[in-house]
Amino acid sequence: MTAARYDLMIDQGADFGINLDLTAEGVATNLTGYSGRGQLRATHASETVTASFTVEISSPTTGKIVMTMPAATTATVAAGMYVYDLEIYTAADATVKRLIQGSATVSPEVTR
C-alpha cells in the first residue's frame, strides 16, 4: 500500500484535527492491535521534530483514526511550510504502514 498524499492547512494557535476512515475496496480496515504516530518537520531530511500529532485509533474494527494537535502546540510552530506523515504500527514496530503524507502549511496567528 502506497501512502496517500494529503496536504494540510494548520492555523497557528488553534486546535487542529482530521478524521480518517481507512478502507480497502470499500470495506473498513480492521486496525485492532495497531497504534498511530505522526510528525511535522521542516524538511524530509530534518533531524528535528517540529511537532508531533496525537493519533488515536478511535474505532479499530471500523478503521477510524483521529489525528490532532492542540492549540498549545500549534502556537509554538512558526508560520511556514513543513512536511508530515502519519503511520500506524504494531507492537515493537513489527509492522509499520505509512497511511498519508504531504505538506503542511501553518498560517500565522493574528489574535493572541
Instruction: State the first-to-last Cα distance of the chain, in angstroms, to the nearest integer.
Output: 42
* Domain extent listing, the chain: 4-105
Q: Cβ distance 79 to 100 under 8 Å?
A: no
Domain 4-105 has CATH 1.10.10.10: no
Q: What is the pLDDT along the chain (112 residues), one digit of tens a residue?
A: 689 999 999 999 999 999 999 999 999 999 999 999 999 999 999 999 999 999 999 999 999 999 999 999 999 999 999 999 999 999 999 999 999 999 999 999 999 8
